Chains A and B, each alone.
Chain A
Amino acid sequence: MRVAVLRPQVPFARGGVEIFTDELVEELRVRGHDADLVSVPFKWYPGTRVLTQAFLWRLLDLEEADGRRIDVVVATKFPSYVVRHREKRVWLVHQFRQAYELDGTDLGQFGPSPEERALRRQVQELDRTALGEATRLFATSANVAGRLERSTGLAAEVLPHPPQRLPYRSASSQGFVLSASRLDRAKRIDLLLEALALDETLEAVIVSDGPDRMRLEELARARGLDGRARFEGRVSTERLAELYATCSAVYYAPVDEDFGMGPYEAFLSAKPVITTTDAGGPLDVVHDGRTGLVVDPDAASVARAAAWLRAHEPDAASYGTAGKALADEVTWDRAIGRLLS
């Protein structure tokens, strides 16, 4: 089958969606499909740019390429699903969240003027129209599916995808908490730093990079965490797998996250996850007292959870094992089977 995987591209940025779509193309090819990635740059500001840049997708003709028919397109996130195709399948990573649950928050985009209010509504209407055209509609998590249903009335099948390929393994805990999320404000890594400030026995390793890195490093300095919060920046896949293998727990507590590969990566290393009650997508698989600890989104609760898991290694190990059983169920064979069925 000839499959085009559609991904909007924010030049010079790389995150979970990029990893997911790259691997989807590779996994499709491994299974004998003729797959390729179709990418269009996306800039969502200022003003109506969010609509006009989205509209670029509508002008694409992906019915065929170089004289050969494209059987299926798989759109992933706003605005790639604005494309026209007779067999448009959407594996929704997320909508344009600024027009929905982030509106009116620090992470929102649209102001109070009538024009900006109308612009936000137009984005919502575009979603309803474009997503309503899909021949199959999947969402990466129950959280994403729930948001979609509430905002558009459209029902999606929940279809999680496997996390990035790493040489996952498990080893004895060296007592530190690992955070491997991109360093941006919505991932709420400052909560982990504040937890370390409350409990002097806690240690954390923070990998990855992002726009919030300077602020987080400054916060760590201000709280006197030198040596206990180690920022390693981007690390190799080997190093990341080693950190997963040797941590006591993985911290993953974004605000109302869409899906979140973090828990799956932790579980494949048989490690428990600390998350918060408002984390969204991760709550599909992080179950309190079974695969990790789900706590209130405050530093004291995170500190208590991290200390407890470090002090109760057998429980932490059993949570990690239970999580691994969940993560082992999420395979590319199953995902692609449903996607193309």
Chain B
Amino acid sequence: MKIAYFSPMPPEASGIADYSALLLPALRRHVDVEVVKRGAKRPPRDADLAVYHLGNNPDAHGWILDALRRTPGLVVLHDFVLHHLVAGVTIGRRDGHGYLDAMEREHGVVGRLLAHGVLDKRLPPLWEARPEEFPLAGEVLGLATGLVVHSRYVAERARAAGFEGRISQIPHPAWPEPGIAAADLAAEPLLGAFGNVNASKRVPQLLEAFARVRAEHPGARLLLVGATSPGFDLDRRLQRLGLPADGILREGHVDETRLWALMAACDIHVGLRSPTMGETSGTVIRALTLGKPLVVTDAGWFSELADDVALKVSVGDREVDDLTAALRLLAERPDARAAMEASARRLAAGPHELGRVAELQAAAFEQAAGGAAVSDDVLEDVSGAAAAVGIAPGTPEASEIARRLSEVELGG
């Protein structure tokens, strides 16, 4: 059985490219996979199933959405909010009408009016200001013959949006321990936050909480790794909080080896996010591999992390207070950090283990490719037998049979 695999791939700077690079060798132990060349419009003729990896980044996924429009197939939905992607393939291609239509299709006349506001620059881009309210996942859900998702959060939203096909919830695979030595960064303790430095990563709140913790623990340092988003003035914020320069360690975009070295050096990993697009965080998964205690936002996929690996902080009035308390607890309790480390490693080696995840993905692909034929055969056989003993469609007996089939997920 052959799978046509549409995904960004390294060296593209994309978390989903990293994900596919990790997964593919393990997946190929189960199924024949052909990675489709970037920009291809259709799957190869001999493919039994097309699998489309879709996320919110239009640069990485615009061409994949185009291909999905031509040939429906199984979608691995990495983000539930696809507004930025839709904007990219409409407004980004000078197709303002396409954006208006997309907003109207999913959010009615109000959606169309709001879209006009965005096009006229009277409203800030909705994909930045109100993405969770306007996810724009409807078109993709309409084209998908089945879904693979990484979280209950995305599965539930897809169902709530009316998707009726099969949804396979399969954890994000964990990277194997890379065996890279920790960077030499002196701190007691060292906190790390990885990814773009901006408001949606809750960096303002993190800086404020860290300033409070550092007042009590002068040896603590905060490592921020990732590009600073335009308009986010980090230096001014540090000045305002009175954080001395030696309290913050700053690195921009780093390569994979450096990333692991920096993560390994941290005592505490902070993975905050709001709003969430429904995404899974690749750096949080890496932190699990390394057994790092986590502090995360209590939202989306992050909420589904087990309580023994992550302290969760809600967004709201008490966010900075709660974040401070979580950081303080981990800074002062090496025993708690050690317990969380063991749990994190167990999680990475268990549900997130690469081989197990690849097996589940292969199962989802195989069912997507041949499951309908199996269901049809089963239904034909069972209904034929029922009819032969006089059980007619619509009778209570037929309903009973249908219920029993449904209980064991047979017959579609």
Contact = CB atoms under 8 A, between A and B. Distances in A.
Interface of A: 47-49, 51-52, 55, 58-59, 82, 84, 112-122, 124-126, 129-130
A282 to B, nearest CB: 27
29 contacts: A47-B377, A48-B374, A48-B377, A48-B378, A51-B374, A51-B410, A52-B378, A52-B381, A55-B378, A55-B404, A55-B405, A84-B404, A113-B370, A114-B366, A114-B370, A115-B370, A116-B370, A117-B369, A118-B366, A118-B370, A118-B374, A119-B374, A121-B371, A122-B371, A122-B374, A122-B409, A122-B410, A124-B363, A126-B410
B180 interface: no
B191 to A, nearest CB: 35
B183 interface: no
Contacts of B369: 114, 117-118
B373 interface: yes
B167 interface: no
Contact of B408 (A82, A113, A115, A118): A82
Most B C-beta atoms less than 10 A away, residue of A47, A48, A124: A48
3 smallest CB-CB distances across A and B, nearest first, come from A118-B370, A114-B370, A114-B369
A117 B381 contact: no
B399 interface: no
A114 B409 contact: no
A58 B48 CA distance: 32
Given A113-B1, A118-B367, A129-B409, A58 B373 contact: no
B184 interface: no
A116 to B, nearest CB: 7
B409 A125 contact: yes
Interface in B368-385: 369-371, 373-374, 377-378, 381-382, 385
B255 interface: no
Interface of B: 1, 48-49, 363, 366-367, 369-371, 373-374, 377-378, 381-382, 385, 401, 404-405, 407-410
Nearest to B368: A118
Contacts of B407: 58, 84, 129
Contact of B371 (A52, A58, A59, A118): A118
Contact of B378 (A51, A82, A117, A125): A51
Contacts of B48: 114
Nearest to A122: B374
A298 B68 CA distance: 52
Contacts of B404: 55, 58-59, 84
Given A48-B374, A119-B370, A126 B409 contact: yes
A117 B370 contact: yes
Contacts of A119: 370, 374
A10 B404 CA distance: 24
A115 B401 CA distance: 24
B393 to A, nearest CB: 17
Contacts of A125: 367, 409
A114 B362 CA distance: 12
Contacts of A129: 407-409
A49 to B, nearest CB: 8
B367 A121 contact: yes
B408 A130 contact: yes
A23 to B, nearest CB: 30
Given A55-B405, A58-B407, 12 more contacts: A48-B377, A48-B381, A51-B410, A55-B382, A84-B404, A113-B370, A114-B48, A118-B371, A121-B366, A125-B367, A125-B409, A126-B409
A55 B370 contact: no
Nearest to B49: A114
Contacts of B371: 118, 121-122
A82 B369 CA distance: 25
A51 B374 CA distance: 9
A38 B221 CA distance: 69
A314 to B, nearest CB: 46
A126 B408 CA distance: 6
Given A114-B49, A121-B367, A58 B1 contact: no
A117 B408 contact: no
Given A59-B404, A129-B407, A122 B367 contact: yes
B357 to A, nearest CB: 13
A302 B13 CA distance: 56
A175 B29 CA distance: 47
A82 B407 CA distance: 10
Contacts of B366: 114, 117-118, 120-121
A277 B241 CA distance: 65
Nearest to B372: A118
Which of B385, B404, B410 is the most central at the interface, judged by chain A CB atoms within 10 Å of its CB?
B410
A48 B404 CA distance: 17
B410 to A, nearest CB: 6
A48 B370 CA distance: 12
A305 B48 CA distance: 50
A157 to B, nearest CB: 20
A206 B1 CA distance: 43
Contacts of A120: 366
A231 to B, nearest CB: 41
Contacts of B409: 122, 125-126, 129
Task: Tell me which of A47, A82, A121 has the highest count of chain B C-beta atoms within 10 A of its own C-beta.
Answer: A121
A115 B367 contact: no
Nearest to A151: B359
A99 to B, nearest CB: 11
Contacts of A122: 367, 371, 374, 409-410
A47 B370 CA distance: 12
Query: Taking each of A59, A115, A119, which has the highest tally of chain B beta carbons within 10 Å of its own beta carbon?
Result: A115
A105 to B, nearest CB: 15
B374 A115 contact: yes
Contacts of B374: 48, 51, 115, 118-119, 122
Contacts of B385: 52
Contacts of A126: 408-410
A121 B363 contact: yes
Contacts of B410: 51, 55, 122, 126
A51 B369 CA distance: 18
A55 B408 CA distance: 9
